[in-house]
Amino acid sequence: MSTYAHNKKKLSNQDLNYRYSSAFKQKVVIEIESGVYTVGEVERIYGVTRATIYEWLRRFGKDHLINRTVRVQMRGESDRIKELEKEKQKLEAALAQAHLKIIALESTIESAGELFKVDLKKKFGTPASGKVSKK
C-alpha cells in the first residue's frame, strides 16, 4: 500500500472530507485511460472510491464525447440554415394550401355530381351508379 493511501487510511477515522484538485483528477483519469493503472489499482494506490473514480472518468475522460453531438459549422452556414428553414416553412404552407384546394375541388365535383345525378369522378357523362336508365 502506498504511503499516500496508508496516511489517508489513518485519518479516515476522523470522518474527513477530501477535496481533490482538478489537476489530480485529470492525472488519475489519464493514468487509467493510458493503461498505466486500472480502476482497482487507482483505488488502492490513492485511496479513492470506485464511484468517485468513475465520476472523474465520466467528467474528465476522453470518452465523455461519445454520446454527444458536436456541430462544426463554417461561417455563414447558420445563415444558410435559417434561410432553408424559412423556405421549408413556405413550402409546407404552399403544400397545405394545395391540399385544401384539392379537398375543395373534390367536394365541388361531388356536389355537382349529386346535383346533375352524374358520377363525375369515374367517367364524364355516365349516369350515377345505381340509377341506370334503360331506353
Domain boundaries, given as residue ranges, for the chain = 3-65, 79-127
Can you give the chain as a three-state secondary structure string?
Answer: CCHHHHHHHHHHHHCCCCCCCHHHHHHHHHHHHCCCCCHHHHHHHHCCCHHHHHHHHHHHCHHHHCCCCCCCCCCCHHHHHHHHHHHHHHHHHHHHHHHHHHHHHHHHHHHHHHHHCECCCCCCCCECCCCCCCC
Residues 41-75: tens digit of each pLDDT: 999 999 999 999 999 988 888 865 555 666 777 88
Q: What are phi and psi of 85, to 5 degrees?
A: -65, -40
Among 13-22, 35-44, 83-92, 126-135, the range of highest mean pLDDT: 83-92
Q: Considering Cα of 78, then 83, then 89, then 91, what sign does the dihedral take?
A: negative
**Proportion of the chain above pLDDT 90, given as a percent:** 39
